[in-house]
Amino acid sequence: MIGQVVFNWICQKPVHNRKKTEKWGRSMMKPWKAVKRLVPLFAGLALLLSACGREDLSVLRPQGTVAEGQLGLIKLSITIMVAVMIIVFGIAAYVWIKFRRKPGQTDVPKQVEGNFKLEIIWTAIPLVLVLILAVATVQKVFAYGENYSADKNAVKVKVTSHLFWWEFSYPDYGVTTAQDLIIPTGKKIALELKTADVLHSFWVPSLAGKTDTNTDGTINNAWIQADKEGVYLGKCAELCGPSHAFMEFKVKSVSEDSFNNWVEAMKAPAVLPEDPAVAEVFKNQCLTCHAVGDQGGPVGPNLTGIGSRETVASILLNEEGSGKPAGGKPVKDNMVEWLNDPQKVKPGNKMPQPKEDLGLTDEEIDAIAQYLADYKLSY
């Protein structure tokens, strides 16, 4: 109960399902009073939490069906657990105050062997609490274990994790992209996850919990759904090497029309640099691994339309990105920063150093950066 209140109070006020919140708020008035003494603590907590994290990143502020259900389970368990904690702490505090040894006390307290009734009570009640949680757990395990890849209404996406980037391909549309997963709002997205190297884990906190990209060749299935348009932050959640911390990605939920436009734009023939010299360098040095449109290779992240992505290399935030991220820089600057020294931006990544390994000059880097920054898709 208390868990519910605290959560709704701190985290969920701004969320669209205000109705629910109000309902909870009203019915919860009484226990709320009962824990009046704890209010300062909660207030302090709230301050600390600065409203439960970012809307696009926090488990506590779900933006999609799966994450909402998971938060429901989290709230249920927190409620039970807070109740247990209050009982235990209450008894403990009482005992510590009441039964302190007084100075000069020498009599021997009664040596109690046990109490059958009491022991039954504190075996049975936890058992019941566990059962409540178990029922809710089992329901949701099966709900989120559902595989929608055969569902015609769902959009199928194959997710492949690489050190340290994400590849997204849409088998039904024949397009492949990287780092920004574009999805239509309100539709089920059926994910098929695998890895190209070590174990990674796919996590978009505000949309759904994690699914590992297994290393044994098996494909894991999961699904996500975003209820409203927006950009949600995704992360790799399994230690995968030096740049594990930087293996982020974005899920961009757009309207169905935009999504279709995006697919069309992705399928358009590749646009190469206008300057033939730059085009030559780009072809010979970059397209051996990367692809744009119908050209290039699949080893590195697909670069089609990279100018309209949210980030460069997933952690250099683009000023032009949705919501004008704090600390963002122009795409081109980010691109130059990356191309100048990828190892500095993302230690341990697999891209050859453009200068040292590929022999690119500052001018070539600048021209390629400019070209990529200008390579935008309109959707």
Partner 1 sequence: MAHAHSVKRHKGLMDWLTTVDHKKIAILYLIAGGLFFGIGGIEALLIRVQLAKPMNDFVTAQQFNELITMHGTTMIFLGVMPVIFALMNAVVPLQIGARDVAFPFLNSLGFWTFLFGGLLLNLSWVMGGAPDAGWTSYTPLSSTTYSLTHGVDFYTIGLQIAGLGTLIGGINFLATIITMRAPGMSFMRMPMFTWTSFVTSAMILFAFPAVTVGLVLLSFDRILGANFFNVEAGGNPVLWQHIFWIFGHPEVYILILPAFGVISEVVSTFSRKRLFGYSSMVFATILIAFLGFMVWAHHMFTTGMGPVANALFSIATMLIAVPTGIKIFNWLFTMWGGQIRFTTANLFAAGFIPTFVMGGVTGVMLASAPADYQYHDTYFVVAHFHYVIVGGLVLGLFAGLHYWWPKMFGRVLNEGLGKVEFWTFIIGFHLTFFVQHFLGLIGMQRRVFTYLPNQGFDLMNLISTIGAFLMGVGVIIFLVNVAISFKQPKGVAGDVWEDGRTLEWAIPSPPPEYNFKQTPLVRGIDAFWKEKMAGNTEMTPAEPVGPIHMPSPTILPFVMSVGLFIAGLGFMFTSDDFGNSLLNFLFSNYIITGIGLAITFGSMLLRSLYDDHGWHIEPEEMNDKGVKA
Near partner 1 in 164-183, by CB under 8 A:
none
Residues 251-310 that bind partner 1 (CB under 8 A): none
Least separation in angstroms between residue 53's CB and partner 1 is 3
- Cα–Cα dist 345/339, whole Å: 9
Helix (H, G, I), strand (E, B), or coil: what is residue 253? strand
Kindly tell me which of 26 and 118 has the beta carbon lying closer to partner 1: 118
Closest CA to 321 of 309, 303, 333, 312: 309
Structure tokens that stand for 148 in this block = 């929608």
State the angle between helix axes of 331-340 and 362-374 in degrees (0 to 180), rounded to the nearest 10: 140
The residue count for binding partner 1 (CB under 8 A) is 98
214 interacts with partner 1 by CB under 8 A: yes
Least separation in angstroms between residue 63's CB and partner 1 is 12
Kindly tell me which of 197 and 366 has the beta carbon lying closer to partner 1: 197
Closest CA to 151 of 105, 124, 190: 190
Residues 310-349 that bind partner 1 (CB under 8 A): 315, 317, 325-327, 347-348
Helix (H, G, I), strand (E, B), or coil: what is residue 7? helix
DSSP string, 276-331: HHHHHHIIIIITTT-EETTEE-SSS---TTGGGSSEETTTEEBTTSTT--TT-B-H
Residues 78-117 that bind partner 1 (CB under 8 A): 78, 80-81, 84-85, 88-89, 91-92, 95-96, 99-102, 105, 108-115
Q: How far is CA 335 from CA 228, 314, 366, 367, 374, in A?
A: 30, 11, 9, 10, 11
Least separation in angstroms between residue 3's CB and partner 1 is 10
Kindly tell me which of 26 and 102 has the beta carbon lying closer to partner 1: 102
State the burial class of residue 378 (Cβ atoms within 10 Å of its Cβ: 0-12, 13-18, 19+).
Answer: exposed
Structure tokens that stand for 164 in this block = 């340290």
Kindly tell me which of 269 and 327 has the beta carbon lying closer to partner 1: 327
x/- mask, partner 1, residues 4-43, rule CB under 8 A, reads: ----------------------------------------
Residues 122-161 that bind partner 1 (CB under 8 A): 122-123, 126-127, 129-130, 133-134, 136-138, 140-145
One of 2, 5, 6, 67 touching partner 1 (CB under 8 A):
67
From 72-80, 267-275, 291-299, 358-366, give the range in contact with partner 1 by CB under 8 A: 72-80
Per the listing, tokens 């959707």 go with 379
